[in-house]
Amino acid sequence: MPDLHWYPGHMTKAVRQMKEDIKLIDIVIELVDARIPISSRNPDIDSLAAGKSRVIILNKADMADDRETENWVKHFTDEGMIAVKLNSRSGNGMKQVKDAIAKAAEAKMARDRARGILNRPVRAIVGGIPNVGKSTFINSFAGRAVTKTGNKPGVTKGKQWIKLNKQVELLDTPGILWPKFEDRKTAEHLAFIGSIKDEVIEKMELVLNLITELEENYCGLVASYYGFDNCEKTENKIDFAVKTLEEVAKKRALLKKGGETDTDKASKLILDDFKNGRLGKITLENVGE
């Protein structure tokens, strides 16, 4: 894979804007994908959010390995954040999220009371890379009755504050990626979940590496899901992944004229099934790796 410098111009503007917005914020809420909790974090947020109360939400927990998600909750808690898991589509875990935000707001509210400031809403910002479910989370949190509170004194005209409840107002931010991916694995994991476009990494290479990772972490899962006997193991992991891909194409009758397996269609199928959680509850990153 070539060195990936992938940073659209609007991302530069978004980061610059977030640096200004963060000055107005009491709590930084960060969404990550529970299947890849490290790859789906933007390292810029740690520096941008220095000194702020932090809540980290492991979203799409319904698609992730439950045991591994619990390990990640403990890991982030040990790092001084308030960590919770969530399925923002169903709302499962939303009460815990609201409790976490209330806990994160306690110190700010206590300081306000000590200064005689009553009923001032705590201001929060939701950060996260593209495709981790920020919009779904905001709508679910607000009960799909999102109220935009308009401009605030001292805030640049045009900013929209969303009233989540009596205590919390939210300033939304666009999804932000960082200028250069540190390693190949991070870029691949982001492509697996759809946070970067398929064309950034060649699709065949991507799906072969996904099959390899799935086999290492959940042996036999791909064969079981698509309904064929597991391929004969080979020392070469890529050879094994190629055979697996061909078996998926055969099983799903993805064939070209003349009966040749259509591995392009099979690649798209597997990537789509993983991205949408159809292959089962899978986590590709473990604490301590």
**Is the residue at 197 inside a domain?**
no
pLDDT digits (tens, 9 = 90+) for 80-127: 999 999 998 888 999 999 899 989 988 888 888 888 888 788 889 888
Same-domain pairing of 245 and 156? no
- Answer whether residue 15 shows pLDDT above 80: no
* Token reading at 82: 């308030």
Whole-number pLDDT of residue 157: 43
Q: Is residue 11's pLDDT more than 80?
A: no
The answer on 162 and 219 residing in a single domain is: no
Indicate the residue among 131, 154, 172 that finishes a domain.
172
Give the residue from 89, 85, 93, 169 showing the smallest Cα distance to 125. Answer: 169
Asked whether residue 210 carries a pLDDT value surpassing 90, the answer given is yes
**Does residue 193 lie within any of the structural domains?**
no
Instruction: Tell me, yes or no, whether 23 and 127 share the same domain.
Output: yes
Predicted confidence at residue 3, as pLDDT, reads: 47
Q: What pLDDT does 154 receive?
A: 39
User: 23 phi and psi, to 5 degrees?
Assistant: -65, -25
Question: Can you give the pLDDT at residue 62?
Answer: 96
In a domain, 229, yes or no: yes
Does residue 128 lie in a domain region? yes
Shared domain for 99 and 39, answered yes or no, is yes
Q: Is the pLDDT of residue 263 over 90?
A: yes
In a domain, 43, yes or no: yes
pLDDT at 134: 84
Neighbours of 282 (CB within 10 A): 20
Provide the pLDDT for residue 47. 82
* Residue 113 and residue 38 share a domain: yes
For residues 46 and 148, state if they share a domain.
yes
**Same domain membership, residue 149 and residue 63:** yes
pTM of the model: 0.85
Assigned domain for 21 exists: yes
138 within domain boundaries: yes
Residues 206, 168 within the same domain: no
Q: What is the share, in percent, of the chain residues with pLDDT greater than 70?
A: 83
Provide the CATH number for the domain around residue 14.
Answer: 3.40.50.300
Residue 271 pLDDT more than 90? yes
Higher-confidence position of 195 and 58: 58
Asked if 266 and 254 touch (Cβ cutoff 8 Å), the reply is: yes
Are residues 158 and 217 both part of a single domain?
A: no
How many independent structural domains does the chain possess?
Answer: 2
* Position 65 pLDDT exceeds 90: yes
Identify whether residues 135 and 229 lie together within a single domain: no
pLDDT at 79: 92
Indicate if the pLDDT at residue 161 is higher than 80.
no
191 domain residue, yes or no: no
Show the domain range for 271. 202-275
Q: DSSP per residue over 36-60, as a string?
A: STTTTS-HHHHHHTTTSEEEEEEE-
CA torsion, ordered 54, 59, 61, 63, to nearest 10 deg: -150
Q: What CATH number should be reported for the domain holding residue 237?
A: 1.10.1580
240 and 109 both lie in a single domain: no
Q: How confident is the model at residue 152 (pLDDT cuts 50, 70, 90)?
A: very low
Do residues 52 and 150 share a domain? yes
